[in-house]
């Protein structure tokens, strides 16, 4: 469980708040508009109305007491930049700021952000990969080179064990888990026999997974 501050209760901030609270974290939220806070009151330990470009408002929050501070200002980059800088100056341990453009990210990182996130871009990339391929049910990019894919097994894999197929050496990927009816089982052993009614969660280089996907077409 972590102590988390979220500044800016736009659409992304609201979703972030609910998910963090559902995972058992203690969340405090701040926004200039009271109506943006009301629906989130059941999820948080504290909510405050205030303009966080005002240093006095930020000081009243006790910035240094939070494990993570999220700056989720999406429509006013100047405000986001000012708040990011102030939060860091006031002792923010880990400052994560939302950006919409690469140039914004560069300035945020130079002015105190420990990490910059691009929720709109990341979702767009994920959807593009998922819907461009006929056999990708989910996709998570880890680095520019490696990703995790949820795919069906090759027909030739069904009824054979991971050891028998020698998947890592033959296909240069690793099976992280299996998924059936939305329920995942992680780290199957080498003796695990692959079934035709399940999905496989595999990790590998994009080029190697793309080569595998072509076999499914």
* DSSP string of 130-165, one letter each residue: HHHSTT-SEEEE-SSSEEEEEEPPPGGGTT-BHHHH
Model confidence band, residue 172 (pLDDT cutoffs 50, 70, 90) = very high
pTM here is 0.69
pLDDT tens, 26-49?
999 999 999 999 999 999 999 999
Mean pLDDT of the chain: 92
pLDDT for 154: 94
Q: How far is CA 213 from CA 43, 120, 209, 216, in A?
A: 42, 26, 6, 5
Residue with the larger pLDDT of the pair 63 and 183: 63
- C-alpha to C-alpha distance for 162 and 185, rounded to whole angstroms: 15
- C-alpha to C-alpha distance for 55 and 67, rounded to whole angstroms: 19
Q: What is the DSSP letter of 40?
A: T
Q: What is the DSSP letter of 2?
A: -
**Strand boundaries in the chain, DSSP class E:** 3-7, 26-31, 46-49, 68-71, 95-98, 115-117, 138-141, 146-151, 173-180, 183-186, 199-205
pLDDT at residue 100 greater than cutoff 90 = no
Of 56-60, 124-128, 140-144, 208-212, where does the model show the most confidence?
Answer: 56-60
pLDDT at residue 106 greater than cutoff 80 = yes
Please tell me the chain's helix, strand, coil percentages from 3-state DSSP, rounded to the nearest 5: 40, 25, 35
| Residues 6 or more apart in contact with residue 3 via CB below 8 angstroms | 25, 26, 28, 65, 66, 67, 68
pLDDT for 126: 76
Alpha-carbon dihedral angle through residues 160, 161, 163, 166, given to the nearest 10 degrees: 40
Model confidence band, residue 2 (pLDDT cutoffs 50, 70, 90) = very high
Model confidence band, residue 214 (pLDDT cutoffs 50, 70, 90) = confident
Domains of the chain: 3-117 (3.40.50.720), 122-216 (3.30.70.1450)
């Amino acid at each position: 469980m972590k102590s988390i501050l979220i500044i800016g209760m736009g659409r992304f901030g609201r979703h972030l708040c609910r998910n963090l609270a559902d995972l058992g974290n203690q969340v405090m939220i701040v926004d200039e508009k009271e109506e943006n806070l009301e629906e989130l009151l059941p999820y948080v330990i504290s909510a405050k109305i205030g303009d966080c470009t005002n240093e006095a408002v930020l000081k009243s929050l006790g910035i240094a007491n939070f494990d993570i501070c999220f700056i989720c200002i999406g429509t006013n980059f100047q405000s986001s930049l000012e708040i990011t800088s102030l939060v860091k100056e006031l002792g923010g341990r880990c400052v994560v700021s939302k950006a919409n453009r690469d140039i914004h990210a560069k300035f945020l990182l130079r002015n105190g952000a420990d990490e910059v996130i691009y929720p709109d871009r990341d979702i767009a990339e994920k959807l593009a990969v998922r819907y461009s391929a006929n056999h990708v049910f989910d996709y998570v990019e880890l680095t520019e080179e490696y990703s995790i894919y949820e795919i069906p097994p090759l027909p030739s894999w069904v009824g054979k064990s991971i050891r028998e197929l020698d998947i890592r050496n033959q296909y240069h990927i690793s099976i992280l888990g299996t998924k059936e009816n939305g329920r995942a089982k992680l780290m199957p052993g080498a003796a695990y026999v692959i079934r035709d009614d399940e999905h496989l969660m595999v990790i590998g280089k994009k080029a190697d997974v793309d080569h595998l996907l072509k076999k499914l077409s």
